[in-house]
Amino acid sequence: MKIRPWGRLNWILPKMGVKDWHVIACSSCEERSVALVEWMRLTNQNIQSSALFCIENPLSDAWKFAKPLRDESFQKLFSWLNGANCHVVETSLLDSPRLASIDAVDKLRSGSVVLDITTFPKRYFLYILHLLMLNKSVENLLVTYSKALSYPELALCADSLPPSPFPGYVRIDSKKTIDFLLVWAIRH
């Protein structure tokens, strides 16, 4: 595996020389969930296709407040991701990430992928990352994260599931080798 240094998105992206991207993102009640796609749109990056996750949290008082904000960010992302080229993945936080993640990765239309982990639950983005690293059609993988300006005071969800291994990471197979390029970028 080849690792390139991480850095700010506006520094790294032009150096990669990629013309068409497949973006995988997750809508959230936080403003930063739209930061990557908004930046790509404003800097005229070509998003050829995308997978947009819309994850439903278990019912709670906090979720009643957060859901309309998540829906608003979903609408922004969907419109910026060109609707027709945007594969929407609707799932629940408590569902297995396997089917939803496999479906999102199967919709790749470009060998260059931006995975925005900013507001993805860990069990989802780690499994998607695992699938992308095993996918031979992925030539460039850029993982991005946007820092929050502030955090909500209330937790949006409690620990609803017992601890368990992340899907795709149960065993390490020392016989497998992966020749892959992984790039991390942070959007401030």
* Structural domains of the chain, ranges and CATH numbers in brackets: 1-107+134-149 (3.40.50)
- pLDDT (tens digit, 0 to 9) for every residue of the chain, 188 residues total? 455 557 788 888 888 888 899 999 999 999 999 999 999 999 999 999 999 999 988 888 878 888 999 999 999 999 999 776 899 999 888 887 777 677 677 777 788 999 999 999 888 888 899 889 888 888 889 999 998 887 666 555 555 555 555 555 555 555 655 555 555 555 54
CA-angle at 169, arms to 1 and 101, nearest 5°: 90
Q: Which two tokens stand for residue 62?
A: 């906090």
* pLDDT at site 57: 84
pTM over 0.85: no
Strand pairing partners for 124?
Answer: none
Phi, then psi, of 30 in degrees rounded to 5: -90, 140
Give the pLDDT of residue 149. 80
For residue 141, the one-letter residue type is L
Give pLDDT, residue 188.
47
Task: Describe the crossing of helices 35-42 and 61-80 by its angle, rounded to 10 degrees.
Answer: 20
Residue partners of 16: CB distance under 8 A and separation at least 6: 112, 140, 142, 183
N- to C-terminal Cα separation, the chain:
27
> How far is residue 53's CA from residue 24's CA, in Å, rounded to a whole number?
8
